[in-house]
Amino acid sequence: MSQHEVGDGMSLDITEKQSDESGGLSRRSVLKLLGVAAGGAAIGGGSYFKATDTATAAKSFDVEEISTACWIGKQDCTMRARVVNDRVVHLKPDPNDEVIDGLCPKGVGQIADLYDPYRIKQPLKRVDGEKGEVGEFEPISWEQAAEEIGEELEPMLADDPRRVHFQIGRVKGAEWHMNGWVDSLEAEYGEGINVRGHGNVCATGNKMALSRMGAGFSSPEPDFDNTEFFLNWGWNATQAGGPHLCNTTYAREMAEAYESGTDMAVLDPQRRGAGHWCDEWLPIEPGTDLAFFLAFNNVLVSEGYIDEWFLKNTTNAPCLVYTEGENEGEIARADDAEDPVESVLWTEGELVYDEQSGQIVPHEETLPDDPHDPTAVGTAALRVDEPLEVGGDRVRPAFELFEDHVEEYTPEWAAEITDLPAEQIRRVAKKWGEEARIGATTTVEVDGERRQVPYRPVSMSLYHVSQQELGPSAMQAGLMPMFLVGAVETVGASRSGYLNAPDPSHREHVRERAFNPEETLTWQPDAPDLEGTYFHPDANGAYAKVPHVLNNPDEYNLPHDPEDMAVVTCYANPLAGAPNRERSREGYAQYGTVIVVDPEMSDTAAYTADYVLPTTTVDKNENAKDGMSNTHYTSSTRTAPIPQLWECRDEGDIFKELAAALGVGDNYVDYVNDAFELTGGDAFDSIAELSVEECLDRSPRYGEEYRDAPQSEERPLTHRYWVLGPVSEEFGDEHRTEYSPFGFKWQFYLESFELLGENVRAGFTEEYGPDAAEQFPYIQDITGFAEWREPTMWNSPEEYDLTLFDYKAIEHKQSRTAQNPLLNELNPKNYVRMNPRDADEIGVSDGEQVVVESHNAVTDDTYRLEGQLMTLQGIKPGTVAIPYGNDTHTQHPNVEALDEGINPNDLFDSTEGYCSWAADQSFHIRIKVEPAGGDA
């Protein structure tokens, strides 16, 4: 066994895999067999058919199976490419991967992307066509491309690094670009390059809440092995992936759980995503999830489903909050308390009311002698009858405030908003409370010793559904059911995501902006994502909002005009991948320089690029991301199964040249050596020597001996449940396991949001006047407890009487599949999907052409799209669903010829009113549907 570091200090013990491959066979050493072949050869060389008679000439083929990984999806599902005479003839799942048992249709279908005749084959330079119009391109050499790009970007970087932006869609091999290239430049030119991911069109809405209520930028993941009741919150399980992995893993886990008796309730306006795994369907009105969970919490509290151990011992629920005075909203702290800005995981000295002594004391003094004992409930009060004061101002326990807060949010109240029967909401909430088995414990064995831990077999998960206007608040309310019954980070419950130990980093900057706004909040953004400003005090790339900002640079105080700025987009297609397409085209056309790294002519490339740099598809070498399911780790390397086609290059081989052209080649080489742990003779001396393939070969983690198969290892229980923190080697000194087994305090009351919200609203009032919320509705949503308000889209005129939402179809993935003829064959068209009840009212029927018009309630803009109707009983009346994934490369000949559209990103919008306070894109908008007129 050998020990290897697998990022973030986790260690992965590599066991020798039983391999049926003959030793020493690499991609390069193909054996040619001549003459009549015998059957029965092992993988790695030989022929596979019986000897034929003389009527057919005997043929021999070189056959290999190369271990590689899917380049499309999130998970990097490992695959074997069957290669016959240096041509890939089939892609299949790698049998050695313990996380997946198969592939999705995109995995096996991407063989068509390898040989796509319309791949970009060498660098292109725009020679004609105005920005915002389809460009005319001419091929140039890599040398010329690097030189000219260097000449464009160097003066910008030298002037102000903030003039250069790096935007990424598909985050793989970040060492080569997002981290490595950017770091190398900043080391030379100074910090400030705006690095933008795709988070805001993905799932950051829930991460914004969970990373502060919990401690880690992640999303909940169910403990499928042990959960008895699972609430599927908008999780399109049969068609999409989830928090960390793809459909291939989660669908299997879910199917297995369902098979073993787990009950499943599904909260989703559409039935389609749950497939077979649904015992109860809650067809909720899109955008009202916040109301649902507020009512859910109302039921749990009023029915008494309260886990006192969890709340009193491990959260700030008993902490006293000022309800008046200049510290209103803050937690009362002792004079010698730790600074909440510095000590973010557990702040010592927060005050509670001790039921035993009748005194106000620091929380720590009310904890049991053994805080790790899941049956030892502390003595801090969740409710106090008498009025309390600290420093002359009234204080009350946070839990009490919460009880008051949810009192009005009854199921009857929520029924009006969500269109779910009150009885159903009440019943499901009670089931949650009941099945949680508050107080139950179980034992797990760690290092030969048995430890007693809470057993709470109820779980939930969500992912992209949080991308709605009220997303972060919905998650704040949605986490409460987990907190109220103590069902988090323990057996049967939900993990809080893909981290092995609590991570303070995402709490830190929000606390700074909550407690020290003068020093940390500004009206002057560094970049069009507005992160860290009053506009969006937190944001993760603001993928869809950026174009709106670029179109209005003065309104948002951008430090430079867009025409003086440059963007490098790496596998991102903002012109099609996110709404609104019109705004995106206009916005990106403002940039002075656009460089697109992509294997295909995306819309972003066609309409706005100055340079298009072709990267590889299946013929790619890359370090695949380390994977982690509930139960296993896997690590894999993406190996090109055939030599790279045309002039296409791996990303690292592109960015190294750009680094060299900008004078930071040495920095880049140093970064890569460090990132891939190359020392001594293995380390590269220069850019000229460096290549992705060579680097992976030399790297201890991705080296040749590990290329043959994925490396899988079972995850220890201490990694799976934070409640085992005290015996986990993943926990360090910063984790306060002396107070809580979780090593930190869960924020039941999100103090930092309450204070941040006050700061933001005060700032807006000063800058925009008392009606600021009319233009920026989301500033109302930054609060300590999630509060209901009506979504802005409901302000659209009544004629827009339906709500549009979108979802992912299994055959398509963002901007990576529309050009694939195999996937197109199965799913050539995105239908306008609605319930027959609505269709009847409108006077249209299944199969007919309809026109969909959407309305932006803030700007009054409207958008129209024509599509074909599909009626289904499995969709809530009053809603329309259109999947996305088609029509993303309108200039690609395959898409032009075969793709029947439509793209709902033509109908959604991305201004205020359609984003959350954290710039999360809302994939909801009000629409009307009419017959198209003319023949169907």
Partner 1 sequence: MTQMGMAIDLERCQGCRACMVACKTENDTPRGAFWMNVFRHEDGEFPDVEQGFTPNPCHHCSEPSCAEVCPTDARFKRDDDGIVLTDYDTCIGCRYCEVGCPYGVNYFQWRESEEGQYGFGVNDELVEDTHQQLMELDDDYEGGDRPWANPELDATQEPRDNKLGGGDHKVGTMGKCTFCVHRQDSGDEALEGTTACEEVCPTNVIFFGDMEDPESDPRQHINEKRDKNNWKMLEGSGNEPNIVYLGDKPDDNVRSMEDEYKDPEEAISAEENRSHNPAAYLTDGGVSE
Give the whole-angstrom CA distance, residue 673 versus residue 690.
Answer: 10
Give the whole-angstrom CA distance, residue 611 versus residue 605.
Answer: 8
Closer to partner 1 at the Cβ: 92 or 715?
92
159 forms part of the interface with partner 1 (CB under 8 A): no
683 forms part of the interface with partner 1 (CB under 8 A): no
63 forms part of the interface with partner 1 (CB under 8 A): yes
915 forms part of the interface with partner 1 (CB under 8 A): no
The tokens for 559 are: 């430090």
139 forms part of the interface with partner 1 (CB under 8 A): yes
* Stretch of 59-67, 336-344, 445-453, 904-912 lying at the interface with partner 1 (CB under 8 A): 59-67
Q: What is the DSSP string of 407-476?
A: HT--HHHHHHHH---HHHHHHHHHHHHHHTTTT-EEEEEETTEEEEEEB--EEEE-SGGG-STTHHHHHH
164 forms part of the interface with partner 1 (CB under 8 A): no
Min separation Cβ 110 and partner 1, Å: 10
Closer to partner 1 at the Cβ: 95 or 732?
95
Min separation Cβ 273 and partner 1, Å: 9
What is the CB neighbour count within 10 angstroms for residue 52?
A: 12
Give the whole-angstrom CA distance, residue 359 versus residue 469.
Answer: 43
Q: Which helix (H) or strand (E) holds 865?
A: strand 862-871
461 forms part of the interface with partner 1 (CB under 8 A): no
Closest to 889 (Cα-Cα) out of 70, 119, 131, 126: 119
Q: Of the candidates 194, 206, 239, 792, which one interacts with partner 1 according to CB under 8 A?
A: 239
Look at residue 581 and give its three-state secondary structure.
Answer: helix
Place of tokens 């259109």: 882
Q: Of the candidates 30, 61, 393, 442, which one interacts with partner 1 according to CB under 8 A?
A: 61
Cis check for the bond before 902: say yes or no (omega within 30 of 0): yes
Closer to partner 1 at the Cβ: 343 or 849?
849
842 forms part of the interface with partner 1 (CB under 8 A): no
Residue 402's alpha-carbon distances to 301, 344, 351, 388, in angstroms, are 9, 22, 17, 17
DSSP H helical ranges for 609-689? 651-661, 665-675
The tokens for 174 are: 């970040």
Q: In what order do the strands lie in the sheet with 263-267?
A: 280-282, 263-267, 229-233, 458-461
Min separation Cβ 893 and partner 1, Å: 4
Min separation Cβ 591 and partner 1, Å: 20
Q: Of the candidates 247, 854, 911, 921, which one interacts with partner 1 according to CB under 8 A?
A: 247
527 forms part of the interface with partner 1 (CB under 8 A): no
873 forms part of the interface with partner 1 (CB under 8 A): yes
Q: Of the candidates 35, 56, 369, 450, which one interacts with partner 1 according to CB under 8 A?
A: 56
Min separation Cβ 103 and partner 1, Å: 5
Instruction: Write phi, then psi, for 302 (nearest 5 degrees).
Output: -70, -25
Residue 802: beta bridge partners? 927
Secondary structure in 3-state letters for 781-795 = HCCCCCCCCCCHHHH
Could you say which residues in the range 281-340 bind partner 1, by CB under 8 A? 281, 283
658 forms part of the interface with partner 1 (CB under 8 A): no
479 forms part of the interface with partner 1 (CB under 8 A): no
* Stretch of 120-128, 196-204, 650-658, 848-856 lying at the interface with partner 1 (CB under 8 A): 120-128
Could you say which residues in the range 69-108 bind partner 1, by CB under 8 A? 82, 84-93, 100-105, 107-108
Give the whole-angstrom CA distance, residue 869 versus residue 382.
Answer: 53
Give the whole-angstrom CA distance, residue 449 versus residue 553.
Answer: 61
Give the whole-angstrom CA distance, residue 77 versus residue 244.
Answer: 12
Q: Of the candidates 821, 851, 861, 862, which one interacts with partner 1 according to CB under 8 A?
A: 821
Min separation Cβ 611 and partner 1, Å: 12
Q: Of the candidates 11, 13, 29, 48, which one interacts with partner 1 according to CB under 8 A?
A: 48
Q: Of the candidates 825, 840, 841, 859, which one interacts with partner 1 according to CB under 8 A?
A: 825
251 forms part of the interface with partner 1 (CB under 8 A): yes
Closer to partner 1 at the Cβ: 86 or 766?
86
Q: Of the candidates 875, 882, 915, 919, which one interacts with partner 1 according to CB under 8 A?
A: 875
What is the CB neighbour count within 10 angstroms for residue 626?
A: 17
* Stretch of 160-168, 468-476, 642-650, 787-795 lying at the interface with partner 1 (CB under 8 A): 642-650
Closer to partner 1 at the Cβ: 700 or 836?
836
Min separation Cβ 625 and partner 1, Å: 18
Give the whole-angstrom CA distance, residue 181 versus residue 144.
Answer: 19
Q: Of the candidates 206, 219, 226, 248, which one interacts with partner 1 according to CB under 8 A?
A: 248
The tokens for 61 are: 């083929």
Give the interface size with partner 1 as a residue count (CB under 8 A). Answer: 103
Binding mask 350-369 for partner 1 (x = CB under 8 A): --------------------
Contact (CB, 8 A) for 194 and 568: no
Binding mask 14-43 for partner 1 (x = CB under 8 A): ------x-----------------xxxxxx
* Stretch of 137-145, 191-199, 345-353, 455-463 lying at the interface with partner 1 (CB under 8 A): 137-145
* Stretch of 333-341, 432-440, 865-873, 917-925 lying at the interface with partner 1 (CB under 8 A): 865-873
Contact (CB, 8 A) for 850 and 844: yes
Binding mask 890-909 for partner 1 (x = CB under 8 A): -x-xx-xxx-----------
Look at residue 148 and give its three-state secondary structure.
Answer: helix
Give the whole-angstrom CA distance, residue 518 versus residue 507.
Answer: 18
Give the whole-angstrom CA distance, residue 169 versus residue 615.
Answer: 14
> Residue 189: is it exposed, middle or buried by C-beta count within 10 angstroms (0-12/13-18/19+)?
buried
* Stretch of 215-223, 234-242, 523-531, 851-859 lying at the interface with partner 1 (CB under 8 A): 234-242
Closest to 113 (Cα-Cα) out of 622, 645, 828, 617: 617
Min separation Cβ 229 and partner 1, Å: 18
What is the CB neighbour count within 10 angstroms for residue 85?
A: 13
Min separation Cβ 68 and partner 1, Å: 15
Could you say which residues in the range 543-602 bind partner 1, by CB under 8 A? 601
The tokens for 399 are: 């839990």
